[in-house]
Amino acid sequence: MAFFDHPDFDGHEQVVLGHDRASGLRAIIAIHDTRRGPALGGCRTFAYADDTAALRDVLRLSRSMTYKAAMAEVPYGGGKAVIIADPRRDKHAGLFRALGRMIDGLGGRYITAEDAGTTVDDLQDVARETPCVVGVRRRPDIDGNMGTGDPSPATAYGVLIGIRAAVAHHLGADTLTGLRVAVQGLGNVGWKLAARLHAAGAQLWVADTDGERAREAERAFGATAVAPDRIVDVAADVFAPCALGSVIDDVTVDRLKAAVVAGSANNQLDRPEHAEQLRQVGIAYAPDYVINAGGLIDVSYERDALDDPQRVRTHIERIGPTLTQIFRQADREGVPTDRVAARMAEERLEQRPSRVA
C-alpha cells in the first residue's frame, strides 16, 4: 500500500498506525495540518473492508477537517482517527482506553471527538487516558438545554442554517415552509435536522438503512419513508445527505433530481469531478466541510471552556453568509462551489487564526 504517493496523502504532517494486543485495537490517526492549531477531528469506528479503505477514509476525513476549521474560523488544525471495528459488535471500553493512550502519546497534536460509530460513552473511556478529547463534558447545548457534550445538535443547526442560505440563493426562497427536503440517514444529525425542518414547515422524505428509524420519522414528522437506495431519486428541492460519504458518485450524480445538495455527511463527493458535474446540471452544492461545521464550532468552545450557547449559535450562524459568498463567487466565475471553498480555506490557512464570534 502506498503512503507518501497515496492519492489522498495531500501533504499530511503525520499518520500513525496503532495496535494494542490486549484490547485488539487497530486504529489510524491522521494529522493533516496544524498551522492554525492542534489537529481536531472525530474518531470513526467502522467495519472497513480492509486497511486500504480505512487509510483512504482517514486521509480524506482529516484533510476535510483542516478546511472545515479554517472556514469555520476556529483556532484548530485538521486530523481524524479511525478504529477498524464493527461498532455494533466489537466495541468495548478497553478499545477506547487503548485509543486514548495512543492519542496521549501524540503530546497534544491531535484532539479527538465523536464521529459515526463512536458515542459520548466511548469517548468517556478515551478521556480516562488523555485530556485530548472533546464532546464529553455535560454542558448547555445550543438550545440552552443541558446536553451530554454530543455536538450533533450544533451540527444539525448549522446544516439548517446552510439549507436556508442555499435555497435563498438558488431558489429565491425566503422560507422553509413547504420546502421539499429528502434526508438520507436519520442518525444523530439527520434526525435532529429532520426535526428542525419539520418545525420550520418543510415537507420531508426520509431514508435510513434502519427501517424502523424511517417509520418513526413518518410518525414524528409526517415524513414519507423511502427505500435507502431510492432517496437520491426523490424530486425534492433539497437532498440532504446525513449518512456516510461518497454518496454523490458516477451513478447517483445522474440520478439526482433535487435542486440543492446540502447535508451533514463528510466527503459527500466520491471524486472532486462530481462537483463540476453538479454545477453543469444546475444543482447547487453546499461544500460539506462548510455546512457541517456546527459540531466543530461547538466542541471548540468546549475545549476553550467557553460555555455560552448564544455565542456558539452566533458563530454557527456565520455558516449562512459564508455559503452565500461561496455560491455567489462560484456563479461569477463559473466554477464549482467546492473549488471556491477550497481556495478560501487555503487563503485562511496562511493567516493567523483568531476567534471571531
Contact residues for ligand NAD (CB under 6 A)? 114-116, 151-152, 155, 184-190, 207-210, 213, 228, 242-245, 264-266, 292, 295
Rounded-to-integer distance, Cα 355 and Cα 357, Å: 6
Cβ 82 to ligand NAD shortest distance, Å = 11
Q: Which is nearer to ligand NAD, 122 or 208 (CB)?
A: 208
Q: Which is nearer to ligand NAD, 8 or 104 (CB)?
A: 8
Q: Which is nearer to ligand NAD, 79 or 245 (CB)?
A: 245
Q: Which is nearer to ligand NAD, 173 or 337 (CB)?
A: 337
Rounded-to-integer distance, Cα 299 and Cα 306, Å: 10
Cβ 331 to ligand NAD shortest distance, Å = 26
- Report the residue count for the chain: 357
Cβ 43 to ligand NAD shortest distance, Å = 11
Q: Which is nearer to ligand NAD, 106 or 154 (CB)?
A: 154
Cβ 354 to ligand NAD shortest distance, Å = 23
Cβ 251 to ligand NAD shortest distance, Å = 13
Spatial CB neighbours of 115, under 8 Å, sequence gap ≥ 6: 41, 42, 43, 44, 45, 61, 80
Q: Are 9 and 63 in contact (CB under 8 A)?
A: no
* CB atoms inside a 10 Å sphere around CB 92: 12
Give the end-to-end CA distance of the chain in Å, rounded to a whole number: 43
Q: Is 164 strand, coil or helix? A: helix
Rounded-to-integer distance, Cα 80 and Cα 40, Å: 7
The question of whether 80 is a catalytic residue gets the answer yes
Burial track 286-299 (b if 16+ CB lie within 10 A, e otherwise): bbbbbbbbbbbbbb
| Residue of 80, 91, 192, 257 marked active site | 80
Give catalytic residue positions: 80
